[in-house]
Amino acid sequence: MGLRFLIVEGNTRAARERHAASFGLMPSQSYAAVVQEIEPRAVCDLAFPADEGANLPDGAGLTSYDGVFLTGSALNIYDATPEVRRQIELMRAVYASGVPAFGSCWGLQVAAVAAGGEVRRNARGRELGFARNIVPTDEGRRHAMLFGRPVAFDAPAIHLDHIVVPPPDCIVLASNRMSEIQAAEIRLNGGEVWGVQYHPEFSLAEIGTIIDARRAMLVAEGFALAEEAAAAYAADLKALSANPARRDLAWRLGIDEEVLDPVRRTREIRNFVEHKVKPAASARGRA
């Protein structure tokens, strides 16, 4: 029997549709594709808690899953809108269910706030394209989530918000100069979440699509002098995604094998499945 996962998308319907129009898939769909590449027999269901009236699993329903993944989102958690509050409540139900969970970017932020932490706008500004020089902490070097990562690495990323106050039962696993919490393990009510502030699930093509859709923002925030420059950067990312052997592009973009190699780029997700989900499924008699 294949593993069964719930992919919880953090975006509103409008944001999902915009992403699908430019990339071809909603973020939850592309996340599911990554999970199914890692575990070809896995079944992935999608949930959209930002939508009013969405059919969301309760604690009993959550226990039918072997793992839960939480995607990124264009929302800001401190706005405390109904779209945000529904996601925090679902996250608390995930904790209470005891089902292993993994969060990317927004997913980590929701996990932190649901467990008593605080998320705010980053005073250092936006981390865009790639989180550079992520360094595991002492705990991170021993933690299964970061098994196989080097002493410092880069990863796809795009976020303006980050955790400023960790929840009570939180182990910080990695940091960089932009965010003190780039990876963490958070526990609440017997449940546990592994999460990262970056996006190991993003291919170069997907991060290029996201940047291309935000050309005006890049200019406004000083990342590019003109929209044409932002578009050229996005085009280089997409070209390198199509042909990872382009050493000229990898050199110009400052990207090494930790990003280029899909196995190494998705290391945290693979480790979560192998070292957290599968042992828990075996203990429950599901694998």
Instruction: Give me the active site residues, please.
Output: 105, 199, 201
Say how far apart CA 31 and CA 37 lie, in whole Å. Answer: 10
Euclidean distance between CA atoms 264 and 155, whole angstroms = 10
96, exposed or middle or buried, with CB in 10 Å at 0-12, 13-18, 19+?
Answer: middle
**What residues have CB less than 8 Å from 187, skipping those under 6 apart?**
95, 115, 169, 170, 193
CA-to-CA separations, 252 to 86, 117, 128, 184, 198, in angstroms, rounded? 42, 38, 16, 31, 21
Nearest to 179, CA basis, from 156, 207, 198, 202: 198
How far apart CA 169 and CA 158 sit, in angstroms, is: 26
Q: Are 188 and 91 in contact (CB under 8 A)?
A: no
3-state SS class at 259: helix
Tell me 146's DSSP state. G
> How many whole angstroms separate alpha carbon 201 and alpha carbon 103?
11
What secondary structure, in 3-state letters, does 161-175 show? Answer: EEEEECCCCEEEEEE
